[in-house]
C-alpha cells in the first residue's frame, strides 16, 4: 500500500504560523493534498497537547485519527525542538524532528524537559539549552522506539550541517550515540542528489517534509512508503533497517526555490553562486559585510565526491511544483487570486488529490478537463523544464514554467476555457 507521509509540520502555537493550523484543518488539507500520514506537530506545547488528547483517538499502535471521524487522515506523534548550546567554542543552533510511539512517552518527554526548566509554553517549537546528544539520550531512555531526525539539515542558521552554527559530520554532533541517527531531513534548499555527494551519508536515509507553517504548504515535500499497515513501528523501522524496498521515493521542492540555496545578502539584493562567492572572498560587494553562505556552498565544502558519483542505488526522488503555483503560472495571476483558488478546488474535485494530479494523472485527462495550457504546465514540471532563480539569504527562489512571451500567447486559450 502506497502511503504518502509529511512528518514535519507546525500548529497554530508555533511562531509565525497560521492560526488555521488546527487538527481538523490539517486533516482536511491532507485530504486535498493526498497525504495519508502527517505529524501532529508541536506536542510539547501544553495547549496543543491538550488538543491532541481531546480531539484524536489512537486507532493503531502509535497512529491517531480525529475522534469525530471527519477525515481518513492519520497522525503520528512528532514535533520540532530547537537546541541552542555551546560546544567546541562555538554556539550551536540545531533544529531536530522528534517522534515518540505513544502519549505516555510524549508526557514523559514533556516532564523531562520541564524538570530542566525548558519553557514549553511560549512556542510550539520550543527552544531548549540542551546539547543535541543529551536530547537524544533522554528520548532513548524514555523509549527505544523514539526517533530523532536532524531537521532541514543544511539551513545556515539552525541545522546540523548549517554554515553558521552546525557541524561537519553527524559524529561530531552525537558522538557515541551517532548510530541512533538513521535519517536526516534534506530541507527545502537541498535535494537527495546534493546530499549524496557526502560519503558520510551513505548509510543515512534522506527524508523530506514540508515544515509547513500554513495549511496550503502541507506536502510541498513528503515521503512515500510501501506499508502493509500504517503503524508507528512500521514507518520508523523502514528507516532503522535502511529498507530501500519499502521507502519508495521522496517528493521534493526544487531546491533552487529554497530560501538558502545560493549565497547572498538580502538587504543588498546580492545573490551569488558558490563560485562567485569565492571570487568575492565571501564579502558582499555592496556593503562589505560577510555573505550568508547557502546550502549549495556548504555542500560543496563538505562533499568528497562529484554529483554524478553520488546518485547510484539510492532511494529515488521526484521534484514537484505545488498545484497552486502551477495555476498561478497558467493564469499569470497570484496564487491567492479568486481564479487560481477556484480552479484549484475544481481540479481537486474532478481529478482527485493534488499529488495524484501532479504525479499520476494522465496528461490527456488533465487536458480534457482543464485545457492544453494546464496540461502542458504539469508536463513541464514533471519533465523539469523550468526557469528558476535560486533563493538566497532567507529569500525564496522563484519558478517560472512559461516565458513572458508564452504567457501572452496562453491568455486567449485560458480565457476561452474558463
What pLDDT, in 10s, does the model give residues 42-83?
Answer: 999 999 999 999 999 999 999 999 999 999 999 999 999 999
Q: In which band, very low, low, confident or very high, does the pLDDT at 313 lie, cut at 50, 70 and 90?
A: low
- pLDDT, tens digit, for every residue of 221-265? 999 999 999 999 999 999 999 999 999 999 999 999 999 999 999
pTM listed for this prediction: 0.95
Closest to 264 (Cα-Cα) out of 283, 243, 240:
283
- Please give the distance of CA 72 from its chain centroid, rounded to a whole number: 22
Dihedral of alpha carbons 42, 194, 174, 314, sign: positive
- pLDDT, tens digit, for every residue of 96-108? 999 999 999 999 9
Q: Residue 202 gets which letter from DSSP?
A: T
The pLDDT value given to residue 148: 98
Model confidence at 30: pLDDT above 60:
yes
The pLDDT value given to residue 417: 55
Cα separation, 132 vs 84, whole angstroms: 9
Model confidence at 197: pLDDT above 60:
yes
Cell of 363: 496528461
Q: Which of 203-217, 303-317, 327-341 has the lowest mean pLDDT?
A: 303-317
- pLDDT, tens digit, for every residue of 288-301? 999 999 999 999 99
Q: At residue 242, what are phi and psi to the nearest 5 degrees?
A: 50, 50
Q: In which band, very low, low, confident or very high, does the pLDDT at 35 lie, cut at 50, 70 and 90?
A: very high
Integer CA distances (angstroms), 395 to 163, 170, 295, 389, in order: 17, 27, 13, 11
- Phi-psi bin for 41: left (phi > 0), alpha (psi -120 to 50), beta? left
Q: At residue 84, what are phi and psi to the nearest 5 degrees?
A: -125, 120
* Residue partners of 78: CB distance under 8 A and separation at least 6: 7, 8, 39, 40, 41, 43, 97, 98, 99
Give the residues across from 366 on adjacent strands: none
The pLDDT value given to residue 219: 97
The pLDDT value given to residue 414: 61
Burial readout 338-373 (b: 16 or more C-beta within 10 A, e: otherwise): eebeebbeebbeebebbbebbbebeeeebbeebbeb
Q: In which band, very low, low, confident or very high, does the pLDDT at 413 lie, cut at 50, 70 and 90?
A: low
Cα separation, 215 vs 219, whole angstroms: 9
Helix, strand, coil share (%) of the chain residues, nearest 5: 40, 20, 40
Name the maximum alpha-carbon separation found in the chain: 65
For residues 277-296, give the mean pLDDT: 96
Domains of the chain by range and CATH?
A: 2-256 (3.20.20.140), 321-417 (no CATH)
* Residue partners of 74: CB distance under 8 A and separation at least 6: 36, 37, 38, 59, 60, 63, 64, 65, 230
Strands (E), 230-299: 247-253, 263-265, 270-272
The pLDDT value given to residue 231: 98
The rounded mean pLDDT for the chain is: 95
Dihedral of alpha carbons 212, 216, 219, 220, sign: negative
Amino acid at each position: 500500500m502506497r502511503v504518502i507521509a509529511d512528518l514535519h509540520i507546525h500548529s497554530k502555537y508555533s511562531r509565525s504560523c497560521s492560526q488555521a493550523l488546527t487538527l481538523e484543518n490539517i486533516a482536511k488539507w491532507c485530504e486535498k493534498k493526498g497525504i495519508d500520514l502527517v505529524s501532529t506537530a508541536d506536542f510539547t506545547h501544553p495547549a496543543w497537547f491538550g488538543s491532541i488528547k481531546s480531539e484524536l483517538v489512537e486507532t493503531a499502535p502509535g497512529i491517531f485519527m480525529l475522534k469525530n471521524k471527519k477525515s481518513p487522515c492519520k497522525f503520528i506523534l512528532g514535533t520540532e525542538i530547537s537546541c541552542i548550546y555551546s560546544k567546541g567554542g562555538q554556539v550551536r543552533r540545531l533544529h531536530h524532528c522528534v517522534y515518540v510511539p505513544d502519549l505516555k512517552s510524549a508526557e514523559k518527554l514533556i516532564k523531562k524537559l520541564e524538570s530542566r526548566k525548558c519553557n514549553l509554553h511560549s512556542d510550539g517549537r520550543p527552544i531548549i539549552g540542551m546539547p543535541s546528544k543529551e536530547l537524544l539520550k533522554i528520548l532513548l531512555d524514555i523509549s527505544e522506539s523514539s526517533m530523532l531526525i536532524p531537521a532541514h539539515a543544511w539551513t545556515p542558521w539552525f541545522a546540523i550541517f548549517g554554515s553558521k552554527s552546525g557541524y561537519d559530520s553527524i559524529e561530531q554532533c552525537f558522538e557515541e550515540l551517532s548510530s541512533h541517527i538513521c535519517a536526516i531531513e534534506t530541507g527545502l534548499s537541498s535535494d537527495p542528489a546534493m546530499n549524496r555527494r557526502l560519503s558520510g551519508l551513505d548509510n543515512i536515509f534522506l527524508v523530506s517534509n514540508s515544515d509547513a507553517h500554513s495549511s496550503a504548504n502541507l506536502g510541498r515535500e513528503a515521503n512515500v512508503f510501501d506499508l502493509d499497515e500504517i503503524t508507528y513501528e512500521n514507518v520508523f523501522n523502514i528507516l532503522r533497517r535502511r529498507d530501500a524496498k519499502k521507502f519508495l521515493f521522496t517528493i521534493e521542492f526544487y531546491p533552487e526555490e529554497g530560501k538558502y540555496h545560493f549565497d547572498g545578502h538580502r538587504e543588498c539584493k546580492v545573490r551569488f553562486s558558490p563560485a562567485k562567492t569565492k571570487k568575492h572572498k565571501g564579502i558582499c560587494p555592496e556593503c562589505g559585510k560577510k555573505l550568508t553562505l547557502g546550502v549549495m556552498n556548504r555542500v560543496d565544502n563538505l562533499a568528497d565526491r562529484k554529483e554524478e558519483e553520488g546518485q547510484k542505488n539510492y532511494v529515488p526522488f521526484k521534484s514537484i511544483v505545488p498545484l497552486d503555483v502551477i495555476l498561478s503560472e497558467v493564469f499569470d495571476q497570484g496564487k491567492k487570486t479568486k481564479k487560481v483558488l477556484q480552479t484549484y478546488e475544481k481540479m481537486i474535485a474532478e481529478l482527485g488529490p493534488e499529488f495524484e494530479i501532479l504525479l499520476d494523472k494522465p496528461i490527456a485527462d488533465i487536458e480534457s478537463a482543464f485545457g492544453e495550457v494546464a496540461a502542458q504546465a504539469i508536463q513541464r514540471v514533471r519533465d523539469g523544464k523550468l526557469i528558476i532563480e535560486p533563493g538566497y539569504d532567507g529569500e525564496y527562489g522563484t519558478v517560472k514554467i512559461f516565458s513572458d512571451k508564452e504567457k501572452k500567447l496562453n491568455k486567449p486559450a485560458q480565457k476561452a476555457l474558463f
